Amino acid sequence: MDPRLADAIQKKHLDALLAVDQDTVFYLTGCLRQESALAVVTPERIAVVVPEFERTRAEEDAREGVEVLRYEDFDTKLYKAARALIPGQPHPRIAFPHKLTTHHTARTLRRRLRSVRWTDATVVLEGLRSCKTDDEVARLRRACEVTRGVLDRLMKEGLGDAATEGELRAEVEGAFLREGCDVAFPSIVAAGRNSRLPHASTTTAPLDGIVLVDCGARYAGYCGDMTRTIPRTEEQEVVLARVKEAQQAALRAIRPGVPLVDVDAAAREALGELAERFTHSLGHGVGIAVHEMPTVSSKSKDTVERGMVFTVEPGVYLDDWGVRWEDCVHVTDRARSL
C-alpha cells in the first residue's frame, strides 16, 4: 500500500475508504477502466470487487497486494461485498469521494449501509493524486512524448491531406492509436474564427486560416494534454510569440512553495495589455483524469509542491481568431516539461 494512503487513512481515523468510480478504482488498485467495480481500502488490505466476467482482466491488472474478489449480483456489490471487507465494529467510519460519486450511488450506499458513519474522501484523494509517484510520472511522460511527436509533425510538415477540422482530428487521434495509446479526450481542432473559442468543438469547417489543435494521448491510464497553434499571418505570429513568452514567465515562477496564484499572475503580467483577452485559468492538474487538482488560476489557494504535474496554457482570444500554447510540466526543484 502507498505509505501516503495508509498515513491519510490513519490521520482521518478511517476504518475504510471506498470507491466506485472508475478513476479512483484504478488509482487505488491498478485495475484500469473496470466498469461496475468496487474498491475497498482498510488499514490491513486493499481489495477490488468486480463482476465475474471482469475477474481475469482485473487479476492481470491489479497491483501486487491487491485482492481481486468477484460478485454475482449487481445489487450486492455496493453493500454486501463492501460490508464483508470492512472491519467488524458496529459503526465503522468510512470515506468515499463525494465529488466523484454519482448521487444515485451515494444514496444507495447510505441506504444499504445504515450503520456506517460516512465522511468525504475527496480532499484526501485529490491531495494524493496531485503529487505523482515515479511510476505515474513515467506514464505521463510517455503520453506527453506521443502527443508532442504528433503535434511536432503537424507544425513541421503541415496538415497533410486533411481538409476539415474533423479530418485533422481523425488523423491526430489515429496517430495516437498507432503509437499504442488511447485518446485522452475528444481533440479540439479549431480553424479560423473557431479558434477564438477556448473550448471550441471540432466541426466540418475547412482548415482555412489559423489552426489550433488541443489534444492528448493516454498511455497506461495516464493522460497527455498539449495545444499548438499554427499561425497564418504576421499579426498572429506576433501574438503567438507573446503567448509563448507568457508561458516561459510562468515556468520561471514555478518552484516548490510558490503560491499557484503567483504562477498564474506571472503569465498575465507577461502578456501585458493582452491579458484581458486571456479568459481562462493558466492550467490544471493532469493524471488519470485530464482535469484534476491542482488548479492554476487567479483564485488558486494551493502552493506548488514537488511531484505535481499540471498544464501551463496561456492563450489570447481576439474577435476573429485566437492562439494558445500548452505543455505539461512536472515539478521537482523547478518546472520540467514532460
**Tens digits of per-residue pLDDT, 284-326?**
999 999 999 999 999 999 999 999 999 999 999 999 999 999 9
For residue 144, pLDDT over 90 is answered with yes
pLDDT at position 78: 57
Tally of CB atoms within 10 A around 198: 18
Mean pLDDT of 111-121: 83
Flag the least confident range among 39-43, 151-155, 219-223, 313-317: 39-43
pLDDT at position 329: 98
Q: From CA 326, how far away is CA 226, in angstroms rounded?
A: 5
For residue 176, pLDDT over 80 is answered with yes
Averaging pLDDT over each range in 35-44, 87-96, 119-128, 309-318, which range is the top one?
309-318
Flag the least confident range among 64-73, 159-168, 295-304: 64-73
Phi, psi of 285 (to 5 degrees): -65, 150
**Tens digits of per-residue pLDDT, 75-92?**
555 566 666 667 667 788
pLDDT at position 74: 55
What is the value of pTM for the model shown? 0.92
Helix axes 22-29, 122-130, angle to 10 degrees: 60
Contacts of residue 144, defined as CB under 8 A and 6 or more positions apart, other chains included, come to 217, 224, 226, 327, 328, 337, 338
For residue 162, pLDDT over 80 is answered with yes
Mean pLDDT of 149-154: 96
Tally of CB atoms within 10 A around 139: 20
The residue ranking higher by pLDDT, 263 or 105, is 263
What percentage of residues in the chain have a pLDDT greater than 90?
67
Mean pLDDT of 166-177: 97
For residue 104, pLDDT over 60 is answered with yes
Helix axes 3-11, 122-130, angle to 10 degrees: 150
Confidence of residue 29 (pLDDT cuts 50, 70, 90): very high
Fold classified for 134-337 = Creatine Amidinohydrolase (3.90.230)
Flag the least confident range among 94-108, 137-151, 303-317: 94-108
- 62 with 29: CB under 8 angstroms? yes
Average pLDDT, the chain: 91
Flag the least confident range among 53-62, 210-219, 237-246: 53-62
Q: From CA 69, how far away is CA 72, in angstroms rounded?
A: 10
The structural domains of the chain, with segments of one domain joined by +, span 3-130, 134-337
- 311 with 266: CB under 8 angstroms? no
pLDDT at position 139: 97
Q: From CA 269, how far away is CA 275, in angstroms rounded?
A: 7
Whether 134-337 and 3-130 are alike in CATH topology: the answer is: no
Check: CATH 3.40.350.10 for 3-130?
Answer: yes
pLDDT at position 87: 63
For residue 244, pLDDT over 90 is answered with yes
For residue 225, pLDDT over 80 is answered with yes
For residue 46, pLDDT over 80 is answered with yes
